[in-house]
Structure 1
Amino acid sequence: MTYDEQLARRVREILADESGLSERKMFGGLGFMLDGNMAVAAGSGGGLMIRADPSDPDGLIDGDLIVPMEMGGREMTGWLLADQRAITSDERLRELVQLGIDRARSFPPK
């Protein structure tokens, strides 16, 4: 299964003015990198993987719509997964992508 092309297009529109933007296919998804640091990724199930500040994840968790990211049965600190139902509105998608932008920009360029 490949990433959701429509979601990738929506994310590209949001990130269009960001400097240092690149895309990388990985794990069946499409990662959006800012100066080499991943901000968000369009997933194969239509969801959005978001890089977030691990010091305040509880404020972002939203039932089963936004959950801590798990890979291989282990929680990935600093990553959230937004179900496709959580990103139907452009405004909400923009808010979540901005979280990823802010976190990715908090790291030095690679």
Structure 2
Amino acid sequence: MAYDTELAERVRDLMPAGATEMKMFGGLAFMVNGNMACAVGLDDLLVRTGKSAYEAAIAAGAEPTIMGARTMSGYVNVAADLVRGDALADWVGRGVTTAESLPPKPPK
């Protein structure tokens, strides 16, 4: 499993207390209340936006998330150059807000 460990550390620092980590999507996912908020890949950040904030994220420079032949509604990929500096906090915040808006999942 390959992911950008430096980016993962920066994301980890921005996650709320109680957030957990799980290996998925070939990277490292960050979970809030059992719901994925974002995931770090090799050269990008996957952010859960939900359907209502998807278009705004695309307008802010994110790309649609495509897995296989399917575009994943409510998820975007953010290139590494868009998460430099303080911009990362905005993208992680979008994912955390979406994850917190969902019903909590029981721990496994």
Q: Structure 2 length normalisation: TM-score?
A: 0.89
Deviation at 1:56, TM superposition (A): 3.4
Identify the structure with the greater helix proportion.
Answer: 2
Residue of structure 1 aligned with 2:75, choices 54, 75, 79: 79
Partner of 2:2: 2
Partner of 2:12: 12
Residue of structure 1 aligned with 2:38, choices 34, 37, 40: 40
RMSD of aligned C-alpha atoms?
Answer: 1.5
1-side partners of 2:97 and 2:32: how far apart? 10
Which runs of at least 4 in structure 1 moved beyond 4 Å after TM superposition? Answer: none
Partner of 1:22: 20
Q: Which runs of 5+ in 1 are unaligned?
A: none
Q: Which runs of 5+ in 2 are unaligned?
A: none
Alignment of 1:99 with 2:94, yes or no, is yes
Could you say what secondary structure the match of 1:57 adopts?
helix
2-side partners of 1:49 and 1:100: how far apart? 9
Identity fraction in percent:
40
Deviation at 1:62, TM superposition (A): 4.5
Residue of structure 2 aligned with 1:52, choices 24, 49, 53: 49
Q: Structure 1 length normalisation: TM-score?
A: 0.88
